[in-house]
Homo-oligomer: A and B are copies of this chain.
Amino acid sequence: MANQLNLSIDRSSPVPLYHQVVQGIEAAIHTGRLELGSRLDNEIDLAAQLNLSRPTMRKAMDELVRSGLLVRKRGVGTQVVSSQVRRPLELSSLYDDLSNNGSKPTTEVLSFSHLEADATTREALQLPAGAKVYHFTRLRKVGGKPLALMENWVRDDITHIDEALLGAQGLYGILRNGGVNFRLASQRIGAVVANDYQAPLLETPPGSALVTMERTAVDDTGRLVETGHHVYRGDSYSFEMTLVQR
């Protein structure tokens, strides 16, 4: 088995070697060149095949194990995990999700204001008294069908936001363009039934099931950038995720 992974490593590229390996193996798995359940060569051979050191090879495989694509066992070897769909829950907005899936979402801004944060919001975003925030509610539709009703609070010292911008682009896109590097978000997912305000907007009967999500996002400087409360139509949206045991 001279060259199991048919990868070419570009040492002059700015993308780290271990990451090139990650991408290469991911591609090999998705194209089927590496069969599900098959065994990989051992780390030392693989490293030698690609002219890499073992730590670099291992770092790449570490990432793939973490993301659930590979399974390692000491004394035995490394396998491609044989499982079906894998869509890890990523730090992305609904807009991104839908755009990537080919649908064309539209956004309707229902309300928009730039005001002093109340106590609850100040606590959620850890802001000092007197700080101002953007507050807005949006309705997201896909193919003309309403899918999500979203209420958000965003600190205003990051980038300018207005109604027109929100209608044209996802919130996370706006904030990323404003120089925000998201690092982590904590969220809570639950269920409620539609009330008389939500039901007509989402074009669903009052009393039908809605998925709720509350999320607060943190950027790479530790700032709490955004908090929001979203509701989704339960008959058209669910959260999929892959959990990996460490």
Contacts and interface: CB of A to CB of B under 8 A. Distances in A.
A41 to B, nearest CB: 18
Nearest to A185: B243
B237 A183 contact: no
A27 interface: no
Given A86-B186, A185-B243, A191-B212, 5 more contacts: A79-B222, A188-B238, A188-B239, A189-B189, A207-B207
A35 to B, nearest CB: 12
Contact of A85 (B66, B83, B186): B186
B126 A82 contact: yes
A243 B193 contact: no
A170 interface: no
A216 B73 CA distance: 21
A72 B222 CA distance: 10
Number of copies: 2
A220 interface: yes
A68 interface: yes
10 contacts: A73-B220, A83-B218, A83-B222, A90-B243, A183-B244, A188-B241, A190-B234, A191-B210, A191-B234, A192-B209
Interface string A202-226: 0000011111100010101110100
A91 B243 contact: yes
A218 B234 CA distance: 27
The list of the 7 closest CB pairs from A to B, nearest first, reads A190-B238, A191-B191, A191-B234, A191-B209, A191-B211, A68-B184, A91-B245
Interface string A60-92: 000000101001010000010111111101110
Contact of A183 (B81, B222, B238): B81
Nearest to A82: B222
A241 B190 contact: no
A90 B224 CA distance: 23
Contact of A186 (B184, B232, B241, B245): B241
A71 B189 contact: no
Contacts of A242: 184-187
A89 B89 CA distance: 11
A243 B187 contact: yes
A208 B193 contact: yes
